Structure 1
Amino acid sequence: MSFVEVDLTERRTDLAIRIGALQDSNLHARFLGRSPLHIVASPDYLERQGTPPAPEALGRHQIIGFADAPHLNRWPLLEPASLSPQLSGSSGETVRRLCLTGQGLALLSDFMICDNLASGRQVKVLDDQIATPNNRELVHAIYHRNTAFSNRITAFLDYIAPRLRLA
């Protein structure tokens, strides 16, 4: 998952999926749902380092964050905690993989980790301490308002929306 926003016109792209709060633009947006955030770790990391009992204990853990999107390193916790990633990845996929290999705790969207949670490869930590709903959970499809493809885009979104694993 890349955090570079694609310019739809420049890239001749009909539709993009954006996660998080949207900027004002001349694009049309359709809300698709929410993808809740979870603090996760691999079972072997938790076995070695222990499970943090409260948000203030996160500072004693290895935090995996985002190198190219520092705003994603501010976790929406109910109790504010000052966290500085000791390890960073340039994409959500990199952060997910670092977490899977036992490198630390990460805050990731449900759509990225739902299969890992179901298989036990990752475990939720402090799930009741995340402020939800929050803007980082929002998932939208964006596209140009007046395109020749608008009927196809609408049909595609009508088809795909109920099949997405979103809250």
Structure 2
Amino acid sequence: MALNSDLLRVFLAVVDTGSMSAAAELLGQTASGVSRGLSRLEEQLGVTLLVRTTRRMELTEEGHVFQERARGIVGAMDEAEECMRVRHQQPSGILRVDASAPVMLHCVVPHLADFYERYQQIRLELTSNDRIVDLVEHRTDIALRAGPLGDSSLHARHLKTSRLHIVASPQYIARRGRPRTVAALDKHVLLGFTQPDTLNTWPLRHAQGNSYAARPTLAASSGETLRGMALAGVGIACLSEFMLRRDLDAGRLIPVLDTLDNGYRQPLHAVYYRNTQLARRIGCFLDFLSERI
């Protein structure tokens, strides 16, 4: 039995998007064509790979096993094809990149002029979301994500780590005083994230443990909003060093409880689907970003 690579791509598209119609849109096919392709693959294998529930397609046990093998086969074929096809070509086309506002402003935007100078045929489309986005749903090629990654079928590349700093403005310190212990934070205005709660875990050693669960007095969805509030003297915030470096160097923000840092470093990853048309562009962008940050 010889499996058709197109059928493997149909199967993976249905798995990744969760429906026949979404897979059809992703592949540029009709929903009926996708359905026939999936049925043909299941007939060739002699097993049921997907079952339909009221909300989406769900993998059977055989489907889970086959998915891993199929991704490996398609990925290897794509890589071989891409290597030959673009070996002597300049990468070109649209590359859609998504990141939170702080990552976009501090890690991407400062380097865009140099990137364009090097890769003038790649057209970047940038979006900012403070929540994790579904790459297929939002038509995103690469997402830059700060913090630990959950389990995912996406490819991931580690770009850097960044220390978290507890900071306040000189005006706030002059008005409210500088906390000398972790327990003293309970008497201060704390600035934190609306969600997820893990972003309000501050890397501070104290008698009761190795981290501090901050209960924000004021909360925002964006780290850039929290930085602005800290600069305005509203309260104390915990933010990544890549956002704060210039503020700390200029004295606009002052470290708080710096000696109690527990050593945690926040990772920054790029996550993406690998496919033939995008692999070259993705590689160029990630290699360039790795150099710069």
Identify whether the pair has TM-score above 0.5, normalized to the shorter chain. yes
Select 2:278's aligned residue among 130, 149, 164.
149
Q: Which residue of 2 aligns with 1:88?
A: 219
More deviation in 82-91 or 4-13?
Answer: 82-91
1:3 shift after superposition: 3.0
CA distance in structure 2 between the partners assigned to 1:162 and 1:60 by the alignment = 43
**CA-to-aligned-CA distance 1:4-45 (integer Å, 9 cap, x gap):** 111111111111101111011111111011011000000110
Kindly indicate whether the alpha-carbon contact (under 8 Å) linking 2:170 and 2:253 is maintained by their aligned counterparts in 1.
yes
Kindly indicate whether the alpha-carbon contact (under 8 Å) linking 2:202 and 2:213 is maintained by their aligned counterparts in 1.
no
Structure 1 runs (4+) greater than 2 angstroms displaced: 68-71, 80-83
2:290 is equivalent to residue 161 of structure 1: yes
More deviation in 42-51 or 74-83?
Answer: 74-83
- Relative to structure 1, the CA distance from residue 133 to residue 84 in structure 2 (aligned partners, 3 Å threshold; closer, same or farther) is closer
User: SS at the partner of 1:116?
Assistant: helix
Runs of 5+ in structure 2 lacking a partner? 1-100, 102-128
Q: Which residue of 2 aligns with 1:129?
A: 260
Letter of the 2:219 counterpart: S
**CA-to-aligned-CA distance 1:54-110 (integer Å, 9 cap, x gap):** 212111211111123322122122124453211111211111111111011000011
CA distance in structure 2 between the partners assigned to 1:155 and 1:34 by the alignment = 21
Letter of the 1:151 counterpart: R
Kindly indicate whether the alpha-carbon contact (under 8 Å) linking 1:3 and 1:69 is maintained by their aligned counterparts in 2.
no
Q: How many residues are paired up?
A: 162
Q: Which residue of 2 aligns with 1:99?
A: 230
Q: Which residue of 2 aligns with 1:59?
A: 186
Q: Which residue of 1 aligns with 2:204?
A: 77
* Same amino acid, percent of matched pairs: 46
In terms of fraction of residues, the more helix-rich structure is: 2
1:155 shift after superposition: 1.3
Q: Which residue of 2 aligns with 1:140?
A: 269
More deviation in 97-106 or 149-158?
Answer: 149-158
- Relative to structure 1, the CA distance from residue 82 to residue 160 in structure 2 (aligned partners, 3 Å threshold; closer, same or farther) is closer
Select 1:113's aligned residue among 244, 252, 260.
244
Q: Which has the higher contact order (CA 8 A, sep 6+)?
A: 1
CA distance in structure 2 between the partners assigned to 1:43 and 1:149 by the alignment = 47
CA distance in structure 2 between the partners assigned to 1:28 and 1:4 by the alignment = 19
Kindly indicate whether the alpha-carbon contact (under 8 Å) linking 2:203 and 2:264 is maintained by their aligned counterparts in 1.
no
User: SS at the partner of 1:145?
Assistant: coil
User: SS at the partner of 1:77?
Assistant: coil
- Relative to structure 1, the CA distance from residue 128 to residue 145 in structure 2 (aligned partners, 3 Å threshold; closer, same or farther) is farther
Runs of 5+ in structure 1 lacking a partner? none
Q: Which has the larger radius of gyration?
A: 2
